[in-house]
Amino acid sequence: MARYRIFGSELSPYSVKVRAYFRYKGIAHEWLTRTPDNEAEFKAHARLPLVPLVVTPEGEGLQDSTPVIERFEAEVPEPAIQPDDPVLAFLSALLEEYGDEWGNKHMFHYRWRDEADQLSAADRIARSMLPGASDDAVAEQARGVRERMVPRVWFVGSSPETAPIIEQSLARMLELLEAHLESRRYLFGARPAFADFGIGAQVWQLSTDPTGAGLIPPRTLAWCREMQDPKSHGAFETWPALEPTLMPLLAEEVGGRFLPWSDANARAIAEEAEEFEVDLSGDRWVQKPQRYHARSLRVLRERYARLGENAELAQVLEAAGCLNWLR
């Protein structure tokens, strides 16, 4: 049977996210770590020098995990990762974006800030790139990876000034996830939703790093591990059942930090500003704008607009402090 090929890396959150999705949907695929041996094939199909890259049996190259997943959701509808209820489906997509865009800051910050974490990640990446190579060759490759990645913490907005905000945000997210997962297996009930794939991949990455591993509480750890190969154990829940512990995550993290940040970032890109500054729930955030994220905010706003007037959704988003950022 024709298979999809996923070029990825065990240390790339977006790669393990797409792999988890393919596993859940039962889509036949081959997982390939990007190495010098397959570099020519990678380059022939990739538009961007990023993993994951999905190559279809027809030889088409697909990139960017969110649209890749959406494309397969349309082609392979079962088991669905989106609840039928449009309110829940939108909240799930919103949390997926939060994981991809903001959760990545938590992960990147902790992975590349302290020396022990830098060394651990650089060594694992180097080993995966050079299977079977000598220790010396791996060490040299790891030095190169570390030199390339460490300065990139600035690109995701991690700096001495923003570090406390990122760390408090992660601590709060983990506390809220832990409370929410106390009485359910996944974020929207007994089966994985879009949101689980996005947030779960970032938290899983963190759990593999020396510092990150020590931060994740037990249920959340079990959940992000299960998200590597998730299974359906039943149905999605309803909003009244989810609200008590999901609303705080939406309000504090998505409405309080991620969306105001994303809006300020998109404005800065539009104005071609060198740097932007934004108040996030009382903390001052300063950063050079990130181009990719302006596009993903636009896509999220289009998704909201496509739903038309949905009074229940508007009410939930308003209560979470998200609505103004989405219109």
Ligand X SMILES: N[C@@H](CCC(=O)N[C@@H](CS)C(=O)NCC(=O)O)C(=O)O
The stretch among 8-16, 173-181, 191-199, 221-229 that binds ligand X (CB under 6 A) is: 8-16
Of 65 and 220, the one with the shorter C-beta distance to ligand X is 65
* H or E segment to which residue 55 belongs: strand 53-55
Q: Which of residues 256-285 bind ligand X (CB under 6 A)?
A: none
List Cα–Cα distances, 47 to 33, 72, 74, in angstroms.
18, 19, 23
* x/- track of binding to ligand X for residues 14-33 (CB under 6 A): x-------------------
Of the residues 16, 51, 215, 221, which one makes contact with ligand X according to CB under 6 A: 51
Rg of the Cα trace of the chain? 19
Q: Which stretch binds ligand X (CB under 6 A): 9-17, 220-228, 259-267, 304-312?
A: 9-17
Residue placing its CB nearer to ligand X in the complex, 51 or 246: 51
| Closest distance to ligand X from the beta carbon of 254 (Å) | 18
CB of 12 to ligand X, least distance (A): 3
CA distance 231 to 32: 23
Nearer to ligand X by Cβ, of 103 and 260: the residue is: 103
Burial class of residue 167 (count of CB atoms within 10 Å of its CB; 0-12, 13-18, 19+): middle
64 contacts ligand X (rule: CB under 6 A): yes
Binder to ligand X among 4, 5, 6, 12 (CB under 6 A)?
Answer: 12
Candidates 71, 72, 73, 61; CA nearest to 7 is 61
Q: Which residues contact 45 (CB under 8 A, 6 or more apart)?
A: 53, 55, 59, 60, 61
- Residue 283 region by backbone torsions, left for phi larger than 0, else alpha for psi between -120 and 50, else beta: beta
Mark the segment that binds ligand X (CB under 6 A) among 12-20, 79-87, 159-167, 313-321.
12-20
